[in-house]
Amino acid sequence: MIVFPTAKINLGLRITGKRNDGYHDIETIFYPVGPYDALEFVTSDKPGDKDILITTGISTGCDPEENLVIKALRKLRENHSFPVLKVHLHKVIPVGAGLGGGSSDSSFLLKAINRRFELNISEQELRDISLELGSDCPFFIDGVPAFATGRGELLKPLTQFLSGFYIVLLNPGVSISTKEAYQNCTPGQPSESLVVLITHSITEWRQLILNDFEDFVFKKHSIIGEIKEELYNSGALFSLMSGSGSSVYGIYHDKPQLSQRLGSHMIFEGFI
């Protein structure tokens, strides 16, 4: 069985508080976009075999045993029985880029195993299992635009309000430490919720919708801020860094003409 885990962007990201459990409360809108990974699994018929993960494409930067895909398999096996699997993950979504690639891979695998082996696990249980893997994993169980609060696991589905717009998604290959990014941000309560701000014209979002990580990340890696500015110069209606970086996206009415420099950082473009 093969599935194609999607990436996500954050339309705004506000850090609203520090929690007693060490996590932060946030407010953001998750929106699914390309690019897509490819995830395929087959059953093993050899006695004594164990689950195996093979990765190709972009390097995951970790041992297969530490990949969220294998961790998802282990977590699912705690309460459910299904055959030993050989899994092939082809990475297209950059790792550690603020696009949720690893979270998407693990959640799509949970959904696919549930469907393939008719485990009859409810979507709520799948969300609960995925949350143990990562704060943004539950979003990929439903995979529809959602207003997220709490750690990012409290989700309110939204309509596909960006349908028909064109997106350009760039990544300069800079690695950002999410932990360090959180440590260098000051939590605060926004004056208006993102669900209100997105009702404004997209041409007004530049003044209204923020990512609290940008100030720290742009100071440390100026190229990321420069890419955002160049996207606006190329006609973007709205541009923002996704998550804690380092990917930046621009939203347009139609396909833009991009500079050679921007083109060198391209990882995806197309209509949303």
Catalytic residues: 8, 136
| Residue 272 burial (CB count, 10 A) | 17
Query: Residue 182: helix, strand or coil by DSSP?
Result: helix
Nearest C-alpha neighbor of 148 from the set 5, 22, 24, 3? 24
- Report the alpha-carbon distance of residue 164 to residue 253 in Å, rounded: 8
Nearest C-alpha neighbor of 32 from the set 80, 86, 104? 104
CA distances from 259 to 232, 233, 239 (A): 12, 10, 16
The tokens for 193 are 């919720």
Residue 87 burial (10 A CB sphere; 0-12, 13-18, 19+): buried
- Report the alpha-carbon distance of residue 253 to residue 213 in Å, rounded: 26
Are the beta carbons of 7 and 136 closer than 8 angstroms?
Answer: no
Are the beta carbons of 43 and 83 closer than 8 angstroms?
Answer: yes
Are the beta carbons of 39 and 89 closer than 8 angstroms?
Answer: yes
